[in-house]
Structure 1
Amino acid sequence: MTLTDPAADLAPLEFAVTRNLAARSAAERDEILAAPGFGTNFTDHMVDICWSKGGGWHRPRVQPYGPISLDPAAAVLHYGQEIFEGIKAYRHADGSVHTFRPDQNAKRLQRSARRMALPELPEDYFLQSLRELIAVDGDWVPSGEDQSLYLRPFMFAKEAFLGVRPAQKVAYYLIASPAGAYFKGGVQPVKIWLSEDYARAGKGGTGAAKTGGNYAASLLPQAEAYEQGCDQVVFLDQDGNVEELGGMNVVFVHKDGTIVTPQSDSILPGITRDSILQLAEDRGHRVERRAVSLQEWRDGVASGEIVEVFACGTAAVVTPIGTLLAAGFEDAQPTGTLALELRQHLTDIQYGRAEDTHGWLTRLDG
Structure 2
Amino acid sequence: MKEISIKDIAKLAGVAPSTVSLVLNDKAKQGRISDAVAEKIRILARENGYKPNQVAVSLRTGSSKILGLIIEDISNAFFASIAKAIEDEAEKYGYRVLYCSTENNTVRGNELVNLLFQRQVDGYLISPTAGMENGISDLLKAKQPVVLIDRYFPTLPAPYVLSDNIAGASEALEYFIAKGHRNIGLITSDFPLMHPQQRESAYTQTLIKHNIPVNPSFIYKVPYTALHHEATQLIADFIKSNAELDAIFFTTNYLCIHGLGSINQLGMKIPDDIAVICFDDHDLFKLYKPAITAVKQNVQEIAETAMQFLMHQITGNGEKIEMTKVIATEFIIRDSV
TM-score relative to the length of structure 2: 0.25
Higher percent of residues as strand: 1
Higher percent of residues as helix: 2
- Structure of larger gyration radius: 2
TM-score relative to the length of structure 1: 0.23
